[in-house]
Amino acid sequence: MATIFKAPSMHDRMYVGAHGNTSTVFTKAELADAAVGDTVEMIQVEVGISLIGLRVNTNGLGAGVTLDIKVGDTLLAGDVDVASAQNQVIPTDTVYTKSKQVLSATIKGASATGTLEINPEYVVKGY
């Protein structure tokens, strides 16, 4: 059965300030043998946010490991290769949050061990 892990950054709040400025929020999770199908909840995304991209940083989570990254039920990036150490900038289709939703990553391919950062880029639109 899949497990849901809450990253320490789930206790952080996203900046929701002046409208129109591009912002980035930093998240981080330390994984220890997270199984295929496990989900890591990175941060709660507030109402009125337009997500425009992701920065994915990892020290390498293990051979064959990929991620599906979602906000709520909306897939932002699928099959993101995080097997080796890397820093990726992933443009996404703009996704506007009409309600609070969790940014999460689901482990695929193989069990994952290491540091995972998923830093969403966003613009505050308001509601």
Instruction: Quickly list DSSP for 15-83.
Output: ---STT-EEE----EEEEEEPTT-EEEEEEEPTTEEEEEEEEEEE---TT-EEEEEETTEEEEEEEE-S
Q: Residue ranges per domain, the chain?
A: 4-9+25-124
Model pLDDT, residue 83: 97
Report whether pLDDT(32) > 80. yes
What is the pLDDT at residue 19?
A: 62
Question: What is the pLDDT at residue 68?
Answer: 98
pLDDT the model gives residue 20: 65
Distance CA 114, CA 91 (A): 24
What is the Cα–Cα distance from 23 to 58, expressed in whole angstroms? 21
φ, ψ of residue 11 in degrees (nearest 5) = -90, -10
According to CATH, the topology of domain 4-9+25-124 is Jelly Rolls (2.60.120)
Q: Are 97 and 125 in contact (CB under 8 A)?
A: no
Instruction: Output the average pLDDT for the chain.
Output: 91
How confident is the model over 10-39, as a mean pLDDT?
A: 84
